[in-house]
Amino acid sequence: MNTNNPAPQSERRIVVLDGYVANSGDLSWEELGRLGDLKVYDRTAPSEVVDRCQGAFAVFVNKVVIDADTIALLPDLKFIGVLATGYNNVDTAAARSAGITVCNVPDYSSASVAQTVFALLLAITNRAETYTDSVVRGDWTNCIDFSYRLSPIEELDGLTMAVYGLGNIGMRVAKIANAFGMKVVSATSKSADSLPDFIEKVPLDEMLRRADVLSLNAPLCNDNRHFICTETLALMKPSAILINTARGGLVDEHALADALQNGKLAAAGLDVLEHEPPHADCPLIGLSNCLITPHVAWQSTAARRRLLKVSAANLAAFISGTPQNSVN
């Protein structure tokens, strides 16, 4: 049972420090609100964190940092809920030492992210938006032929999809690629015997060389920071396409920009950058063969609804004495 002796519901203060991105008003905080006296802030500056959390029993954060110094100033805090899967913005060791449970929301956005991988890929291969803009300009109305071609349209069928990171998202990407008729390869740590028949386990160098499309779906760690760099890009086909919906730090942006500008890589579709929001001098923004979306892969309405539902369930489980999704 929970030894933290939660306060009665009427005295239970719950604070959401940066709720806007997860719920800008199109969803409801009702399930979380049933568990106590809820206060939701759209955004919270670092200087405001301690003051807003004073007296709180539970605090929810998405990207706001809760470090050891902050935890030391919040003696009433018993629970930290992360409105995301990644929780590197919370000092989990300091929280554990203070008797605070930290819970995240795993696997809520896998379908949404995998879908975005192919939204970016199809935008590159089929150029539907480019053709739509052309039609709106009147090009089709004024065309003497029933059809015309602005750029080559590539078929995915028969191409090789390399998946870097075969977790929940990577496996979904592999399954969708297989449904498109693509060959799937991965330099995974999983045993070949544990993989579906349609995924071929290969060495890392071979995966890069064979990739017609490389999808990055691995978490970022010290060992793979700037995995995509001058050396790895040199192994890839000039016709290859890079898709990154994982973490911006997996890519050396200057090396990628050089490859895209100098014919060493055909195109890239990125939902994440190393700095978010990006710096004004980001070398990738504005390149004609680089599509960039603002870290939206995770945020389908269905995924955000699951995020809020599981977040409330995490706190309810903690209050009942049976914590779930604890990361510390």
Is 93 part of any domain? Answer: yes
66 and 152: one domain?
Answer: no
Residues 232 and 127 in one domain: yes
Is 100 in the same domain as 121?
Answer: no
Are 66 and 214 within one domain?
A: no
Closest listed residue to residue 318, CA positions, set 110, 161, 95, 116? 95
The tokens for 250 are 């997996």
Does the structure show a pLDDT above 90 at 326? yes
Q: Are residues 115 and 92 in the same domain?
A: no
pLDDT of residue 60: 98
The mean pLDDT of the chain is 96
pLDDT at position 158 is 98
CB 118 within 8 A of CB 176: yes
Least confident of 7-16, 109-118, 132-141, 158-167: 7-16
Distance from C-alpha of 286 to C-alpha of 289, rounded to nearest angstrom: 9
The CATH number for 83's domain is 3.40.50.720
Q: What is the mean pLDDT of residues 16-34?
A: 97
Report the pLDDT value the prediction gives residue 1, as an integer from 0 to 100.
36
- Cα 141 to chain centroid distance, Å, stands at 41
Instruction: Give the integer Cα–Cα distance in Å for 87 and 85.
Output: 6
Residues 314 and 170 in one domain: no
Alpha-carbon gap, residue 95 to 100, rounded angstroms:
5
Let me know whether 64 and 145 are in one domain. no
Tokens of 269: 């579709």
How many folded domains does the chain comprise? 2
Same domain as 240, residue 314: no
Query: Considering the entire predicted model, what is its pTM?
Result: 0.92
Q: Which residues are catalytic?
A: 247, 276, 295
**Does residue 3 sit within a domain?**
no
Tens-digit pLDDT profile for residues 142-157:
999 999 999 999 999 9
Q: What is the residue range of 119's domain?
A: 110-292
Domain co-membership, 265 together with 121: yes
Cis peptide before 219 (omega within 30 of 0): no
Residue 65 forms part of a structural domain = yes
The CA–CA distances, whole Å, from 177 to 15, 148, 163, 276 equal 41, 28, 10, 29
Percent of the chain with pLDDT over 90: 96
Same domain, 276 and 226: yes
209 has pLDDT over 90: yes
Question: What confidence score (pLDDT) does residue 6 get?
Answer: 61
